[in-house]
Amino acid sequence: MAHEALVAQVRRQAELLPQMYARLDPEAIPERLALGPDDPSDLDVVQGVDRAEILADTDLVDLLVTATRLGDVVADAYALLLPTYGMRGLVEMLRTACRDGVDAVPDAPAELRTFIAAMEATPSWIDMDLVREGARWERIEAAFVTPYVIRGAFLATFLNAYAALPMALTGTLSGRTSGRRVKETASFFGATVLPGGTDRTGPGFEAAAMVRLMHSSVRVHALRSEKWDVTTHGLPIPQADQMPAGMINIALTSMKVLRQGRTEFNAREQAGVELARYRCFLLGLPDELLPDSPTEVLRVLSARAATLRTAFDDDTCGALVRSTLAATLHPDAGRWGAVKERWERSFSTVTFVKAFLADDYARAAAMGVEVTRADRARAVAMLPLVIGRTLAVRGLSRVPGVERLADRYVVATLERRIRGYGHPEYTARV
């Protein structure tokens, strides 16, 4: 078995953190896992992928089953200090440790030291020069594309009731807080691609730590909730569920590469892959879930979909989808903000249906995502602006003598976007 270390890690969770993992049987198969040939899975709606072939690869299936049982012990242990320090105390200590080092935290708990040390232990398979190059290119999209698609990308995380339930239980994705969550997500990705963003004291490193704390606090809350049944749902927010969000960019790149008849990433694409893999490492994902070839990237993601039982619960998924669609991302921008909100919502929603629902508007409507003719018209009208500006800046970024000026423009735009997202809290109501 190629992932024996991960299996051992799963089995050690109960020993390292019994107050949280003792109730989870490391050998149990929760209902959420679709391992039978006739089980309905999230891969069923994906065209061109043979689920039987995926299931026949027992090593790959075992990897995803293991990843479905794998949590984040170092961040979970820190989150369990909540009764002692309160969420604000945990956040303040973590921010200080990220910005000034753990020694700057008075009486820093051992759990905080272990958490930060795990993030500082950059693996040998990461090339930091490639990470910085990947950030230089990806911040173009973060500045000019992300603001118009982030709502749709966020919707994609609510398509399966098994994966969406942990966040639903916290109550933080209803009403006004939905908009804050969308903006925090955009802020996180933006912070990681700023110059020096993923450096040890960079804003992306800190944002990743905050996201891990948020996920762990939700995981702790879910396991303590009477609504969480481990025999049905298994472990809340396992690494298998964090992988798709961390790999979304390289998944789209991988599809493009294979459509073009290539089998390998070019130099610029490889830099983006390296950035994504390092960002995933900071979020706690193991390297076994982070392949670096287009075929393997899509194969691992397909295996995750093939082993996740399909389920769309209106009380969970539908409520989260409707709340996110209704969220106001530009609350204080007056009349212009309302116009911008309408156009952004249209573009993001249409993009979501095309990218994540295979252009199936009937399926979208069944999920509560109504796309009107006006939405489609606005999306079409915005396409030249969003894509055209992005391509123009990419072109200028390749011109010797101009690339630095282009990058300054991109960085200034991205920093303005991040300020507009507001101060991220990365906390959940627990």
90-129 CB burial, b ≥16 within 10 A, e <16 = bbebbebbbeeebeebeebbebbbebbebbeeeeeebeee
pLDDT in tens, 39-73: 999 999 887 889 999 999 999 999 999 999 999 99
Confidence at residue 321, expressed as pLDDT on a 0 to 100 scale: 87
- Give CA–CA dist 32/26, Å, rounded: 15
What is the per-residue pLDDT for 154? 85
Query: What is the distance between the alpha carbons of residues 357 and 365, in angstroms, rounded to a whole number?
Result: 11
Query: How many helices, marked H, and strands, marked E, lie in the chain?
Result: 21, 0
How many Cα atoms occupy the beta-carbon half-sphere of 100 within 13 Å? 9
Task: Give residue 325's identity as a one-letter amino acid code.
Answer: L
| pLDDT band at residue 428 using 50, 70 and 90 as cut-offs | low
Q: What is the amino acid identity at position 138?
A: E
- Given a contact cutoff of 8 angstroms between Cβ atoms, the answer to whether 170 and 219 are in contact is no
Q: Please give the backbone phi and psi of residue 232, each rounded to the nearest 5 degrees, phi first.
A: -95, -50
pLDDT at position 283: 96
Burial class (CB in 10 A: 0-12, 13-18, 19+), 342: middle
pLDDT tens, 308-348?
999 998 888 888 888 888 888 876 656 677 788 899 999 99
| Over residues 392-402, mean pLDDT | 94
Q: What is the DSSP letter of 156?
A: G
Give the mean pLDDT of the chain: 91
Query: Which band of pLDDT confidence, cut at 50, 70 and 90, is reported for residue 169?
Result: confident
Over the stretch 265-287, which tens digit does the pLDDT of each residue have? 999 999 999 999 999 999 999 99
Q: Residue 173: pLDDT band by 50, 70, 90 thresholds?
A: low
Supply the pLDDT for residue 336. 73
Gap between the Cα atoms of 65 and 175, Å rounded: 34
Q: Hey, is 46 helix, strand or coil?
A: coil
pLDDT attached to residue 176: 65
Average pLDDT over residues 80-92: 96
- Cα separation, 370 vs 352, in Å, equals 12
* Rounded distance between C-alpha atoms, residue 265 and residue 257, angstroms: 7
195-199's contacts with Cβ under 8 Å and 24+ in sequence apart are: 195/135, 195/411, 197/135, 198/131, 198/132, 198/135, 198/275, 198/278, 198/279, 198/282
- How far apart CA 352 and CA 156 sit, in angstroms, is 7
Integer Cα distance of 138 and 351 in angstroms: 19
Q: Is the pLDDT of residue 148 over 70?
A: yes
Q: What average pLDDT score do residues 218-241 get?
A: 92
The residue that leads in pLDDT, 28 or 169, is 28
* pLDDT for position 87: 94
Token pair in block for residue 403? 């690339």
Question: Which residues are within 8 A (CB) of 413 and not within 5 positions of it... i.e. 6 or more apart?
Answer: 143, 144
More confident of the two residues 179 and 87: 87
pLDDT at 122 over 70: yes
pLDDT at 408 over 80: yes
Identify the CA nearest to 409 among candidates 387, 420, 421, 394.
394
* pLDDT of 367: 84
Q: Look at residue 319 in the predicted model and tell me its pLDDT.
A: 86
pTM for this predicted structure: 0.92
Q: Which phi and psi (to 5°) does residue 41 adopt?
A: -130, 165
Tokens 């935290």 correspond to 105
pLDDT of residue 177: 73
